[in-house]
Structure 1
Amino acid sequence: MIKVASYNIHKGIGLDRRRDPARILEVLREIDADVVALQEADRRFGAKAGVIPLHALEEHSPWKPISFGMRASSMGWHGNVLLVRKDAVVLDSEAIHLPALEPRGAVMADVRVRGTAIRVVGMHLDLSGLSRRRQAHAILTHVEACVERRPTVMMGDLNEWSAAGGCLRDFGKDYAFAPTDPSFHVRRPIARLDRIMVSRDFTVMECGAHHSAASRKASDHLPIWAVLEPA
């Protein structure tokens, strides 16, 4: 079984308005997932450097970031980062450019985790419903065009407030949603903005939103997680 998680870390800024990457790592260690998709993992201005220092990951976590070769100071692409356990094998990785008025992107990687090769897509979609649907179409088209098929998990902050409409309808044609709990706003979670979606060759064994003292302070979103069984 493979445990995955998705977390909008709000640029590392918690409810106390302090930027604290160590607190984000504490939450991730509590979840202890094999693969993690982060959103808003870059600073907003300047060189848009990654919020979590590389040395902190190397010294204080079991994960390594997947490189997409886009910005030297950022781990990922437009704030999207994929982390995998240090013993995982990265088979391929690429950034996905998304149509948007403001900078948006998604990231995709093929990794071998616990002996199984899987495809992982991390994303943070637009606030506009029309743009979200265009972005969902771009991601689905990109994945569909891959020559090699693999069990696939897509996860991230979809910014979709509806229960089943909008981009959820687009993703739901070929992917099943893990029934995770509401993740936003962390003070009183009522919205399932964060989602984990899996191809039909995955079975969701367990899933949820991660509630802890640290996760209720570290960001404005709760992280979500799922335990998956490949077919």
Structure 2
Amino acid sequence: MANFIREKIMSFRAEREFRILSHLVRWAVSCSIPLNWTYGYCQEYGFYEILSTRQIPDTVSLREFLFSPSIINQNIDLEPLFQMVQQMHTCGVYHGALSTKNILIDFEGNARPNYYIIDLARGYLFSRSIFGKSIAWYDLLKLVTDIEKKLGPDFCRPYLAQYGLSKKALEKFYQKAVHYKSFSRKQRRSKNVLKVKVFFSAILAKCNLRDTIAYF
């Protein structure tokens, strides 16, 4: 019964992530290439889902790289990363957990680093672009907050401009960023509201209705 409900209403997490990654590959967005997915039940562990992806060699997470000694002597170029995120949002993908640990970087032997998006277990694929929408800002807020913890306030400002935020939008973004860093009850409540909106967006999309809830 549990598998039936998940399959008919929300789809399996592994299936959803496989579909999102496949969509990113078609749009030439650098990511972990999906190979296969499956689900089942075993007596020892219960229900399970498995997603297999192709290994990306010679990479580390952006978080690991930012906290490594090598970053001290290198000026990291984040322009390709924010271009990639912009392309991801343009093709309708919301990541849901866009932190530096879910970005891989290949810096060795390259004039500019290569970045790869991984781990879209909380992601969702919308039928049209979410670029410029509030839901895309949640991805950006998570990523920018993570990066600027290490590299300092406003470090990402020029990259956000390259992403496509206007001067006015940049000021609004950093005002939101101050509240995003807060762990107040109000902030936790707003994050829970976002999760509910994405959930119902998925339900509506599954019922072939317009996915407008996420465009708040």
Give the TM-score of the pair, scaled to structure 2: 0.28
Higher strand fraction (1 or 2)? 1
Larger Rg: 2
> TM-score, normalized by length of structure 1?
0.27
**RCO higher in structure (CA 8 A, sep ≥6):** 1
